[in-house]
Amino acid sequence: MKLQTQRFIDRWLGQLLCALVSLWLRLTRLGHPQAHMPQQPRHILVILLSEMGSIVLAGPMFAALRRSYPTAKIHILQLRKNQEVTRLLQLTTPDCMHSLDDRSGFSLLADILEVSRTLRRLGMDAVLDCELFSRISALMAFASGAPVRVGFTAHTQEGLYRGSFINHAIPYNPYQHISKQFLSLVDALGIKEGMPRHKAAPLHAMPEKTELSVAFTAGELQTYRQQLHTDHPVTVERPLVLLYAGGGILPQRAWPAAHYAHVARGLSAAGYAVGLIGLKDDAALARELMAQVASPACLDLTGYTRSIRELLMLFHASALLLTNDGGPGHFATLTPIQTMVFFGPETGRLYGPLGPRNTVLELGLACSPCLSAYNHRLSFCDGDNQCLKRIAPDPVLAQALNLLRVQARVATA
């Protein structure tokens, strides 16, 4: 199903359903006490329908859930296309993974009904809705049957109505990194008061790491590196730098292709191999960039990795990743690779990768960031993303070469 169709249904039908559920609960639960978290919950559901990179940013939240409720089974509801990362990171057991197929309206509706029945049969004690003002996620929180429903509230923000049945709501804060806000959802589970919103939330420092990992053996990584050398002999003598120039589902997040080509030429001239990564859909862009770079040290690696696990092994075999805002920058935090990530339509202050090996490249124009939870990530710049176009390629190239030189000195020390 097209993204615009999903937004239309969520906005109009979603608001109506949220209003009906809220009215029904108000009438049937009148005089009933506020639902509280049991001391030893058995089942906790996490709803996380966003892009795969959000799963990595939610790593500290999952770790906090396990520490706070060690006996509870953690269930995760995602879009089916995003489940690969959950399996790879072993965030939960296969029987606790639930999915919605959004390829068509019929498959989505069928999965909503089936998953709702399954969750009610299991008996959820609580649900954490990690989405920002999505009506389908709020309705799934209610449909799960969990008496304790945690999620974000827009408070008095107009146009973001999604009912009043999230009974342990916390205000969404557009000035705090999303990983800190995910941790606040865990805090809200233990709050005995539901509405009005609890204010004395615990103090959380910005998470320094994802608390996630993927185990690779030394032999596995060495075998992959040897295969990479065989497939692309230029990487034997030249350290590999990866570029992800695609914009994914939000093309306005992409730094200009001509800028990437300029940096790729500079890296090739400085003695590095440059690998253009992405999905098969990014192959046309990769061919365009290779034509502009015109160097045998520039490689088309789009489609080369067949899974997220292989992508992480490629990161292990590379020295630097230069990428647009998106999944690759977050997945890279699970490996030792140094990363440079462009932000503009969205901001690294809210969605930047976690960990010490990341450099956020952000210009800070007055109109940036323009994508937010308040406008359903619809930009008014019509694709003319000056916040990224004005990040000049020469300083980026200089910064990349400096990071590579420092990394080389540390490796030989």
In the chain, where the domains are located: 3-189, 218-412
Mean pLDDT of 7-31: 87
- pTM beyond 0.75: yes
Average pLDDT of the chain to the nearest whole number: 91
The position carrying tokens 């008014």 is 380
As to burial, measured by CB atoms within 10 angstroms (0-12 exposed, 13-18 middle, 19+ buried), residue 337 is: buried
pLDDT tens for each residue of 138-151: 999 999 999 999 99
pLDDT, average across residues 102-127: 94
What pLDDT score does 410 carry?
Answer: 83
Predicted pLDDT of residue 316: 97
3-189: CATH topology = Rossmann fold (3.40.50)
pLDDT of residue 261: 97
- Other beta carbons within 10 angstroms of residue 34's beta carbon come to 14
Q: What is the mean pLDDT of residues 168-187?
A: 91
**Lowest-confidence region among 57-66, 186-195, 320-329:** 186-195
- Between 244 and 195, the higher pLDDT residue: 244
Q: Is 278 left (phi over 0), alpha (psi -120 to 50) or beta?
A: left
Q: Is the pLDDT of residue 101 over 60?
A: yes
Distance in angstroms (rounded) separating the CA atoms of residues 199 and 157: 18
pLDDT, position 35:
79
Question: Per-residue pLDDT for 196 more than 60?
Answer: no
For position 214, what pLDDT does the model report?
Answer: 95
Give me the pLDDT at residue 376, please.
72
In this prediction, what percent of the chain has a pLDDT beyond 70?
97
Q: 147-161, 177-191, 210-224: lowest mean pLDDT where?
A: 147-161
Supply 106's token pair.
């019929």
Q: What is the CATH number of domain 218-412?
A: 3.40.50.2000
